[in-house]
Each structure stands twice: as structure tokens, then as C-alpha cells.
Amino acid sequence: MIQELHQKLITKEISATELARDYLRRIEEKNPVLNAFITVAEKEALKQAEKVDKKIANGDEISLLAGIPVAIKDVIMTEGIKTTAGSKILENYIAPYDATAAKKIKDAGAVILGKNNCDEFAMGSSTENSAFGPTKNPHDLARVPGGTSGGSSCAVAADLSVYSLGTDTGGSVRQPAAFCGVVGLKPTYGSVSRYGLIADASSLDQIGPLTKNVADAKIVFDMIKGKDEKDATSVSLKHKNIKTLKQKDSLAGFKIGIPQEYFIKGIDAEVEIAVREVIEKVRELGAEIIEVSLPYTEYALAVYYIIQPAEASANLARFDGIRYGNRGITRNTTLNYADKLIDVYKKTRAEFLGDEVKRRIMLGTYALSAGYYDAYYKKAGQVRTLIRKDFKKVFDKVDILLTPTTPTPAFKLGEKTNDPLTMYLEDIFTVPANLSGVPAMSLPCSKTKTGLPIGVQLIAPWFNEDALFEVGERLEKSNL
């Protein structure tokens, strides 16, 4: 889609301004119902579109992303535009600088339409934890779009943006991509700079694209990837070690691993049938199918829900009403000097943070506290190493793994809000990739009898995103 729109722009079949106005009109019509956007940046979008039109008129060369409308998840900083992280504590916060990923697409001429709704501080699996109300699934308004990048996936699926930048901490790009029927990529940890991303869990977070197809995901990833001096965890991707397929319509020579631990009791029957049909399609395309095992996968969810809250509790300490965020206390309040600071903290967090964020801060603080650190956080880190070793062993045998993205299709709004443990189980197939740092991508593969999208997940070795694109594009061409 990006390539086609780019061609229309440079041939002047359409203008960037016309394209931006068209998408802004769609947002105006559909967003009141879908709630995919927290902030619409109409003025900024049209200004950027006009710049692109002038370049085209002058005969200047433009990048593939120039003039292409994009939406950005509201945990990624965008200079001069509100960045709320889906929280009341940052309701009026104007970002003073761009995240590196946002700056890269801006420099390429992308037209930023606005900021997408998300679970507060990227904590959740349904976008129901947003302080600005839930986003709805465009395929069924009674269902969730997934989370935490629910607004981003909804915007792409509902044609409110050509693509979106989301973030994936435990599946927050891939799970909503599966629920909304779009492509979602979680890159290798470190391949995309996290500078300017409001941190959830620093060792897990990764910015990634949500797109209509695999080709678009590759275009966006190639634009935002790479070493950033402002992020010490980012790496250069100059040296690649991938298996390139010579035949455009074949997977001959590729070894696809099917982990037995991803077909568990309780998986939705329609999801399992759809994914097994993809496995047969892969076999028909010439790939060798190999049954593999990742034995420590069964501990991944437990490990994730120790590490993520622990790191989040540390990252969210800055939102205290002093350095960042609204204050839960006024200057006119009479307080004893000794009590003033602690009361500011208490009132700020009580009034401006949601229940899920409070729950994870408490869980994380407990796991890091004296007397419990070794039993919980340290042990979780040790098991995380074993999960990573599982992947390393398997990738000595196969080129890529194929699994379901989620155990179920999109569930109904309110169905799991009162049962956090059931909600957490939605991440069971996605968190292992975050814990190990490997790249993973979800792409739509089928629909349920009621028309709900089903996603299949591809997982590749570290820094082998191109392997995901190679296989993903062939599956698309095979009318997956």
C-alpha cells in the first residue's frame, strides 16, 4: 500500500494534502465510535503534507514514507503534540522532543495524523485500561481491539491511517494485530531505538510497525531501525545472516519449526484449525516442517509478570506530581512541612493512576523489596535465561517458528476486566519472544465463522527480521 501511494504522489495522481485531508475526514467520521485516537494533529499533518507537495512540485526526490499518513501510539514522544501514555497523570503533557523512531519517519516526510489510544502506560491486553475510554474493534464494536496498541491496530484496520507505530512489551503489537486483522512486527530487542519511548519495562519494550501487509512492515522497519547514540541498548544492523529464498513463490529449503507448547489445552478450536491450515500451506510451498520443543515456555508468563511489574515500578517512580504529572494537591492546601511531600505522592498517584497501573506498581515493588528480590526477580531472571537458551537450541535446527499469535479471537468488551489473571493469559503465546529478545510478527491468516480475524505468528532468530518478511510475503501471495 505504501509503495502504491508513493507512486501516486510522485506521478501527481494525488497530492499529499489531498491524502491527508481524506484520512482526517475518516478520523472525524469514525473516531467518535472507535476511539482509536486520543489526539488528532490536523494542523501539524496538513503543514507536513504541504511541505511534501512543494518538494514534489520542485522535482525533488522524496522517500517512500513522504506524504504517507501515519498514526503513533501515545507512549511515543512527538514534539509539540500531546503525549499522554493513556493516563490522566499526563493528560496535558506536551512532548518537548521527538522519540528517535518518530523523528526518523518525520525526517522522511511522514504525515503524522495524531496519537493512538492505548492501555495506560502500556499495561493491559485490551485497551480497556486507557484513562480516555476503550477502543473498539472495527470488525465488531462489542469486542476489544487488543492491547496495548489497540488504538494503533484499530486505526490501520479501519483505514484511519496507512500504518502506525506501536510498542510491544509482551505482545502489544502482535496481539492487537491478530485481533484486528493487520500485520504487526515486534523487532529484535535493540534493533529500534527506545529513546523517547515512555518506558514500561525497559528490558522488554520495543517499538514496531502495524501495517496492512508485510511489504509495508518491511518499509517502515527499514526506516526506523538502527543504532542510536541516545540509546545504549540499540545496535547497528549492517551485518545480516539470513537465508534468502531464490524462488518467489516457494519456501523450498526453509525449515519451519512447530513448537508443541503453543498448542495447549484451552486454545480456541477455530484458532487451532486456522493455524494448522497455515502449517499445511507452508508444507505445500515446499518448506520442511519440523516438530520442536521449547520446554521452558510454560514458565514464560509467570516470569513476564514478575519482570514487567518490577521494571515498571521503577520506571513509573518519576510520575509523582513533582517531576512529571498532575498534582493531587493544590498550593493552598494546609499541610505540616514533614507531611507535605508524602501527601503529594499519595494524592497524585491515588487520583491520576488507574487500577491496573497501581496493581503492577505494587506487585513490582514487592518483588524488588528486601527479602523477596532473590526469591522472585532474581529467580525470574534465571528462568528467562533458560527461555532464551531454548530458542537458541531450536534455531540451530530450524530457520523460523510458526505458532498461533493468540489463544482466542477478540473477546468482548468488559468480559475479562474483573479477572486480571484471565486477561494476562491472552499474552501466553507472545511473551516468550519479548523475554528472549527475538523478532516476531503476526499476520492475518483466517477468520472465525462470525468474521473475527485470526492471526498466525512467525518467530525468527535474533536480527533476522528479513526471514520474517521472506516467509510472510510468500504466505500473503498464497492467499493466506
Q: Please tell me which residue in 149, 172, 193, 234 is annotated as part of the active site.
A: 172
Catalytic residue among 15, 30, 73, 442: 73
Closest CA to 463 of 190, 165, 223: 190
Strand bridging mode 400-404 / 255-259: parallel
In whole angstroms, give the CA distance from residue 107 to residue 443.
Answer: 28
The C-alpha cell that represents 151 in the structure block: 488504538
| Residues β-bridged to residue 69 | 111
**Residue 238 a catalytic site member:** no
Amino acid at 463: F
DSSP string covering 267-320: --HHHHHHHHHHHHHHHHTTPEEEEE--GGGGGHHHHHHHHHHHHHHHHGGG-S
Dist CA 121 CA 355 (whole Å): 12
**pLDDT tens, N- to C-terminus, the chain (480 residues):** 999 999 999 999 999 999 999 999 999 999 999 999 999 999 999 999 999 999 999 999 999 999 999 999 999 999 999 999 999 999 999 999 999 999 999 999 999 999 999 999 999 999 999 999 999 999 999 999 999 999 999 999 999 999 999 999 999 999 999 999 999 999 999 999 999 999 999 999 999 999 999 999 999 999 999 999 999 999 987 655 555 555 667 899 999 999 999 998 889 999 999 999 999 999 999 999 999 999 999 999 999 999 999 999 999 998 887 777 776 655 455 555 446 777 778 888 888 899 999 999 999 999 999 889 999 999 999 999 999 999 999 999 999 999 999 999 999 999 998 888 889 889 999 999 999 999 999 999 999 999 999 999 999 999 999 999 999 999 999 877
Task: Give the whole-angstrom CA distance, residue 52 versus residue 70.
Answer: 14
**Which amino acid is residue 105, in one-letter code?**
I
Q: How far is CA 105 from CA 72, 226, 348, in A?
A: 11, 13, 35
Please identify which residue in the block is written with the cell numbers 497530492: 15
For 325-345, what is each residue's pLDDT tens digit?
776 655 455 555 446 777 778
What is the rounded distance in angstroms from the CA atom of residue 145 to the CA atom of residue 139? 9
pLDDT in tens, 205-227: 999 999 999 999 999 999 999 99
The radius of gyration computed from the CA coordinates of the chain, to the nearest angstrom, equals: 22
Asked about 172 being catalytic, the answer comes back as yes
Could you give the domains of the chain? Answer: 1-480 (3.90.1300.10)
Please list, in sequence order, all residues whose beta carbon lies within 8 angstroms of the beta carbon of residue 297, skipping any fewer than 6 positions away: 259, 261, 262, 387, 390, 432
Give one DSSP letter per residue of 183-242, joined into a string: EEEEPPTTSB--TTB--S-TTT--EEEEESSHHHHHHHHHHHBS-BTTBTT---------
